[in-house]
Amino acid sequence: MPDRSATGTQTNNADSFRTFLEGWMVRQENYLDELLSGQQHCHDMQDEDIKELCSRMLAHYQEYFEAKSRIAQRDVFLAFSPTWLTSLERTFLWIAGFKPGMVFRIVTNSVLDMSEDQTQRMNRLMEETKLEERALNDELAKVHESVAGPTMLEAARRSGRLVAGEASEEETAMATLRVALESVVANADSLRMRTAVKVVEILRPAQKVRFFAGAAQLQLKIRSWGLQRQEGERQESSGDEW
């Protein structure tokens, strides 16, 4: 029989993060307005003002990662299948979040005036990031292999033969799996944040504003398209019931 208490806890975790995300997205829209305004009046802004705005943006994303980290610690399986995202948003997921290399696409599309030195530094960072992404892919693959390994399979078979009060090897194996997945997610989130910070360090003040604006626009557009498609599917499903 399904564990109702576990299901209820998972639902509460999902609802909690969904509420957080809704508020975070509202703040994201407000930041985008500020970034677009700053983009138009960048020449009139002091470097310190731009630096302060960019610091607030980084803190905004850090807030997101910290909230997601808390969810992953409570239920790492939920982090891999986040019900608070639309099906479209989930197609972009890589280890419970966006792929770090995506920031380089944003740079390419939003920052068109990098110097040769900046371009070289950005390319080096991109190659370093790819190596770290591959290492994390390998780490996650090893976790997946362990799930299908003899220890986990035997534990699953034995769990059906336990007597009352006997400790389940399956529970122990699942706990080990959770710890391994939590580690992979934490390392992936660290790479995401470190990559973004390093990209920002390479860019000049006005370029940073365009980069953050491009990142916010992309996320909000994907969210909007996803919600629209979800609503369309819901209406189509309701129509079929008639």
What was the pLDDT predicted at 234?
81
CA distance 20 to 15: 9
Q: pTM (2 decimals)?
A: 0.85
- Between 11-20, 48-57, 85-94, 161-170, the lowest mean confidence (pLDDT) is in 161-170
pLDDT higher at 46 or 239: 46
Residue 15 backbone zone (phi > 0: left; psi -120 to 50: alpha; other: beta): alpha
CA distance 212 to 220: 12
CA distance 127 to 121: 10
Which residue type sits at 63?
E
What was the pLDDT predicted at 153?
45
User: At residue 26, does pLDDT exceed 90?
Assistant: yes
Residue 99 backbone zone (phi > 0: left; psi -120 to 50: alpha; other: beta): beta
Residue range 181-234, pLDDT digits in tens: 999 999 999 999 999 999 999 999 999 999 999 999 999 999 999 999 988 888
CA distance 208 to 189: 21
User: At residue 6, does pLDDT exceed 60?
Assistant: no
CA distance 194 to 240: 47
CA distance 4 to 137: 33
Residue range 122-176, pLDDT digits in tens: 999 999 999 999 999 999 999 988 776 555 445 444 544 544 444 456 677 788 8
- Contact residues for 77 (Cβ-Cβ < 8 A; gap 6+): 178, 181
Which residue type sits at 207?
Q
The size of the chain, in residues, is 242
What was the pLDDT predicted at 1?
47
What was the pLDDT predicted at 152?
46
What was the pLDDT predicted at 151?
53
Residue range 72-129, pLDDT digits in tens: 999 999 999 999 999 999 999 999 999 999 999 999 999 999 999 999 999 999 999 9
Q: Interhelix angle for 4-40 vs 205-241, to 10°? A: 130
**Burial class of residue 76 in the structure, from the number of CB atoms within 10 Å of its CB (0-12 exposed, 13-18 middle, 19+ buried):** buried
Give the CA count within 13 Å in the CB-facing half-sphere of 83: 13
Which residue type sits at 87?
S
Residue range 59-70, pLDDT digits in tens: 999 999 999 999
Tell me the average pLDDT of the chain. 87
Task: Please give the C-alpha separations between residue 63 and each of 25, 172, 222, in angstroms, as whole numbers.
Answer: 12, 32, 20
